[in-house]
Amino acid sequence: MQKPNKHIYTVSEITQAIKCLLEEKVGEVWLEGEISNFKAAASGHFYFSLKDQNSLLGAAMFAYANKGLKFRLEDGLKVICFGKIDVYAPSGQYKIIVERIEPQGVGAQQLAFEQLKKKLAQEGLFNPEHKRELPLMPFTVGIVTSAKGAALRDILQILKKGAACVDIVLRSVRVQGEQAAGEIVEGIADLNNLKHLDLIIVSRGGGSSEDLWSFNEEAVARAIYNSRLPVISAVGHQIDTTLADLAADVFVETPSAAAKIIVDRKNALLAQLAGLGYELDLSINQVIGELKNKLTAFTHALKSPRDHLLEKQQQIDELFSGLNYNLRHVLELSGQRFSSLIQRLEALSPLAVLSRGYSLNLLLPQGVIVKDAAALKAGDRLKTVLHKGEFISLVQEVHVERENLV
């Protein structure tokens, strides 16, 4: 009887057969497990193992798949992976090639936030001892926000009513989107290069967590921490606290609240000056009263010549009355001078200039203030801000003033 021919496989053949079988029977799967032995190669590929209580499975996530990963992979992190089971022929081991990965039990964005928050906290970016005191009265304030946003309108409206003497320097930036974080960082740096600023407000209106994400970027938090000037973070939110809030010297929940801080400081300064004036008046009256009592006692002790002493006492009364009047007059003049200074400061405010019929022209879409007609060309779009309202116009002709030739 003839024996049947037996097929002898090579190692490569049997490995390929197993690979085909796994691809056919298992294919793409969702898999949960805990990361261990994580390693990021110089090529950008990630290699790690997935394990549970009883088993261990090798995993690879190539650079094209992990490029947009928002959170950091690390040992001990429980994840859910999607990919296909494959056999690595050189070692004969099967593993999962991961295409997508998510943290188990928490969103990827939230995990990225918590990981970055922990990292920056360990570096001391949120330490209370680093927080700087706000100036007693900030007369010139820089604002990093969108020129088109409601945040700027809210801030200007409150300052116009309560502290019109404050000058505003606007650094217009995007406040959401991929390029927003970089522009915010540049805006903070630009304002720090201005010598006459007292304070910076970094602000935007409310929005979803995704809308506010630019203020959770590491670069923004570090720019606020490294700012030469004190920073108020005024990112409109109700629940979530951004990393910009934690790094700032002071943070409030709305842009309006940031403006109110400045108004309150102006009112507190005026109240303090009034209190000091009252205390000075009281102290002077007390000193004069004590001197008067001493002179009266001295007069009574001498008793002779009585008429001479009475005359001197009358002179003292007259001097006291005149001195008191002069002191009050000096205090009134000081108060009038301070009020005059406040009025002069308010007259220099951009809001006051607009109320006198002037306007502010911004070149669109950049939002750059136009100071010279030479910067314009026919067809440019301008946004003109008036004392009340604004409008968009199109440049028809440009006339540049020419200097007289010598």
pLDDT tens track for 69-84: 877 888 888 888 888 8
Using pLDDT thresholds of 50, 70 and 90, give the confidence band for residue 372: confident
Buried b (16+ CB within 10 A) or exposed e, 350-379: bbbebeeeeebbbbeeeeeebeeeeebeee
pLDDT at 187: 94
Instruction: Decide if pLDDT at 217 tops 60.
Output: yes
pLDDT at 199: 94
pLDDT at 302: 59
Whole-angstrom distance, CA of residue 297 vs CA of residue 174: 77
Taking a C-beta distance cutoff of 8 angstroms, is the pair 168, 369 a contact? no
Instruction: Decide if pLDDT at 221 tops 90.
Output: yes
Question: What is 142-206 written as a DSSP string?
Answer: EEEE-TTSHHHHHHHHHHHHH-TT-EEEEEE---SSTTHHHHHHHHHHHHHT-TT--EEEEEE--
Q: Which token pair is 293?
A: 């009592």
Taking a C-beta distance cutoff of 8 angstroms, is the pair 288, 324 a contact? yes
pLDDT at 404: 47
255 burial via Cβ count (<10 Å: 0-12, 13-18, 19+):
buried
| Mean pLDDT confidence for 162-178 | 89
Instruction: Decide if pLDDT at 183 tops 90.
Output: yes
Report which of 219, 212, 201 is spatially closest to residue 125, judged by C-alpha positions. Answer: 219
pLDDT at 231: 94
Min mean pLDDT across 100-114, 149-163, 268-282, 369-383 is at 100-114
Using pLDDT thresholds of 50, 70 and 90, give the confidence band for residue 169: very high
| Mean pLDDT confidence for 233-243 | 78
Using pLDDT thresholds of 50, 70 and 90, give the confidence band for residue 400: confident
